[in-house]
Amino acid sequence: MTSEALAYALLSGLAIALLVSIYTDIRYRLIFNKVTLPIALAAPLFWYATGSFTLTEIGIHLLTGAIVFGFVAIAFHFGAMGGGDVKLFAALALWFSWTEVFRLVLYASIIGALVTIIFLVIHKVKQKDGRVRVPYGVAISLAGLLVAGERIFNHFT
């Protein structure tokens, strides 16, 4: 298998894992570790397949993932995100360059606002009591799909 074919195969696997995360987060309000862990563990294979397997670039990927984890862990501390969301965000951040991670965060924020509005409306329409439980993993996963898709569809730029 060529490195380009491996990269596309890994991106396909990532897309499937993100779709599973969307389903489980909507259905159970959980993002399972058995989905998040393979996403994180496949990142080094993706680095290798895309030619970003130098010591410097590996360090940048790990630093970017750690920074994202730190920021979203703060959101978890204040109750804005669940633990699964934090792990999924950090695992996704390992896959991409820091500029792509910046877009990932931007897309997840915009999509997250839309998901929040949708679930607030659903909560009001159903006249439920208590706090709205927003499946923010949906926004993270959709943002991940967008960024991963950019690699496939915009690879000529």
The pLDDT tens digits for 135-150 are 999 999 999 999 999 8
149 closest CA partner among 107, 91, 109: 107
User: Quick one: tokens of 73?
Assistant: 């862990």
Q: Which residues, 6 or more positions from 133, have their beta carbon under 8 angstroms from its beta carbon? A: 29, 119
Q: How many CB atoms lie within 10 A of CB 155?
A: 8
* Residues 152 and 11: beta-carbon distance below 8 Å: yes
Q: What is the pTM of this model?
A: 0.93
Q: Determine the pLDDT at residue 110.
A: 98
60 closest CA partner among 110, 24, 99: 99
Model confidence at 131, in pLDDT bands (50, 70, 90)? confident
* Residues 147 and 104: beta-carbon distance below 8 Å: yes
Q: Determine the pLDDT at residue 129.
A: 87
Share of the chain above pLDDT 70, in %: 97
How many residues are given for the chain? 157
